Amino acid sequence: MSLWKKSVFPAAAQHQKLDGQTYNYGTAGFRTKANLLDSVMFRCGLIAVLRSKKTKSSIGVMITASHNPECDNGVKIVEPMGEMLIAEWEVYATQLANASNEELGGVIEGIIKDNNIDMTVSANVIIARDTRPSSPSLSASVIDAIKAFNAVYTDYGMLTTPQLHYLVRCVNTNGQYGEATEEGYYKKLSQAFTQLKIQTPGDNSYLPEISVDGANGVGALKVLQLQKELKGYLDMKVFNDGSTGKLNEQCGADYVKVGQKPPAGVMFEVGKKYCSFDGDADRIVYFFKSKDGSFRLMDGDKIATLIAGYLKELVASVGLNLQLGLVQTAYANGSSTYYASTVMKVPVACAKTGVKHLHLKALDFDIGVYFEANGHGTVIFSEKATKSITSASEDSSLTEDKKQAAVRLLNLMDVCNQTVGDAISDMLLVESILEARLWSLEDWNSAYTDLPNRLLKVKVEDRNAIQTTDSERKATSPVGLQMAIDTTVAKYSKSRSFVRPSGTEDVVRVYAEADNQTSADQLAYDVAVLVHKLAGGVGDPPTPPMSS
């Protein structure tokens, strides 16, 4: 018997898989009801150790269910440079999570053999969790697995998901990316942000304060810690801080984005700036109350175009030969794509839904800005871009204006959490740009107007009946569906629609947009009916929109 089996098998017996449960490692890792996850957490601890041995690097494990209700939980595994787990190992994680208790040893042996893993190599795992009541016990299950493999681990306790990603990269770059502590995270962001503030001429039109909806999650706690480091340069008033309300209940970025309304617990006033995080603080959306009393939202599309446009201007000001691009998904509003590509002249690429796909696509550019419409995104700088910007910031032959623009780029680069979307980092980035432009939220929002849109879902027998191509914008099956969608779309002005299978349930998601809300609603309904008819719809056909 292999040496590891003598310790892993007895430990696994304390975390046995529940009969009849099936798990899938999706774009957000494993995620379901917390009481179904004990065995999954143990096995993710095993996967993390094996991945650490394979890469000879530290691997991260984050216990969170992001914007899901408090009763849910989940787990994500983080790669050495802070990226999402690679696709090949998602397969291994799924196999291991679904193996019967008797099959467990064989699956582990298969992973070791397939990857030629030297089990004598040391392993190190970095763990963190969100504020859910179930997270401490699930974290303990992960730790049991790591101990069973006789590996080393560091438990950072309660962190945002982006902070865990940051720490993993810091450890694996020996501190080159930043100091591998929670305090180091605050220090890196706050120092870069304060330098940008010092560099920006003061003007009374910029309001250095913002009300932050912490979604009653971990982000609320961490914003309060960051506040101490900002030395009064930005006043962040936190509401939904977890002291009373439930996690993600009537609050948070997803609630605000989907409902198109402010969260509970906020004094919603004209002239104030607001933003909402999600439960683990990797998403952010901005919003405000217009002078006519209407709710106005700046989602991931608005944030992406703000950032891409400003970075492009700075790159041009310095005279750097760098290719900057914006990566979106099919859910990006058509107006944002037109504004970025036609008005700002920024190349736009489309990727499949899921930030891991956007992140990979953004690597095609020297500076890649990527955001999902839900507010999850960041900016990544290639090695070429980093060297060019750093060199320009130190080049005494440049004019003062060019050198200052280069220094500004350097500080903006440090404000960005390049490992993953980060609500705190993105908020500081947006605030820096708004101040530099002397823009209010009204100014920012007026850059372009979103096309009216509607998102529906259709229950089907098997979501895999829908197959797509072109970054999920075209359906390849069932036969005839895409042709029917194209014919339907042609009936409406400035319209488009696409369908894609859900990654977590047997439903098909239908997105539609058009020149007015009535048309967008009707188009979404028309396409939903097609999906129900051609893709094995369950139950009654979709309900017609109220306006029809």
More confident residue, 548 or 407: 407
Phi and psi (nearest 5°) for 31?
-155, 125
- CB distance 152 to 124 below 8 Å: yes
Tell me which residue of 307, 410, 326 sits closest to 368, measured CA to CA. 326
Task: Determine the residue type at 276.
Answer: S
Q: What pLDDT sits at residue 465?
A: 92
User: What distance in Å separates the CA atoms of residue 276 and residue 166, rounded to the nearest whole number?
Assistant: 21
Q: Which residues contact 131 (CB under 8 A, 6 or more apart)?
A: 158, 216, 217, 218, 221, 242, 247, 279
pLDDT at 410 over 50: yes
Sign of CA dihedral 89, 95, 97, 102: negative
Q: Looking at the predicted structure, is the pLDDT value of residue 163 above 50?
A: yes
For Cα atoms 21, 26, 27, give the angle at the middle one, nearest 5 degrees.
Answer: 155
pLDDT recorded at residue 224: 93
Fold assignment, 184-298:
Alpha-D-Glucose-1,6-Bisphosphate; Chain A, domain 3 (3.40.120)
Label residue 504 by pLDDT band (50, 70, 90).
low
CB 117 within 8 A of CB 89: no
Position 28, amino acid: A
Residue 1 has a pLDDT of: 58
Name residue, tokens 């439903």.
507
Could you tell me whether strands 474-477 and 496-501 are parallel, antiparallel, or unpaired per DSSP bridges?
Answer: unpaired
Decide if pLDDT at 62 tops 50.
yes
3-class SS of residue 195: helix
Give the pLDDT confidence of 385-409 residue by residue, as tens digits. Answer: 999 999 999 999 999 999 999 999 9
pLDDT at 547 over 80: no
User: Across residues 494-515, what is the average pLDDT?
Assistant: 91
State the pLDDT at residue 3: 80
CA distance 342 to 328: 15
Tens of pLDDT, residue by residue over 190-233, are 999 999 998 887 666 788 999 999 999 999 999 999 999 998 89
**Which pLDDT score, from 0 to 100, does residue 2 have?**
79
pTM: 0.94
The answer to whether residue 57 scores a pLDDT higher than 80 is yes
Cβ neighbours of residue 169 closer than 8 Å, sequence gap 6 or more: 80, 81, 82, 177, 178, 419
CA distance 515 to 517: 7
Sketch the domain layout of the chain as residue ranges: 5-158, 184-298, 300-445, 453-534
Contact (CB, 8 A) for 197 and 233: yes
The pLDDT score that the predictor gives to residue 500 is 95
Mean per-residue pLDDT of the chain: 95
* DSSP result, 148-165: HTT-EEEEEEE--HHHHH
Asked if pLDDT for residue 296 goes beyond 80, the answer is yes
Taking residues 169-173, report their average pLDDT: 98
Tell which CATH architecture fits domain 5-158: 3-Layer(aba) Sandwich (3.40)
Q: In this predicted model, what pLDDT tens digit does every residue of 360-388 receive, in sequence order?
A: 999 999 999 999 999 999 999 999 999 99
Q: Which residues of 172-182 are buried (b: 16+ CB within 10 A; e: fewer)?
A: beeeebbebeb
pLDDT classification of 548: cutoffs 50, 70, 90: very low
State the catalytic residues.
66
Reply yes or no on domain 300-445 having CATH 3.40.120.10: yes
Is it true that 184-298 and 453-534 share their CATH fold? Answer: no
Return the closest-CA partner of residue 341 out of 355, 329, 352, 326.
Answer: 326
Type of residue found at 502: S
* Angle between the N-to-C axes of helices 182-199 and 161-172, in degrees from 0 to 180, rounded to the nearest 10: 100
Quick one: fold of 453-534? TATA-Binding Protein (3.30.310)
Distance of alpha carbon 124 from alpha carbon 72, whole angstroms: 27
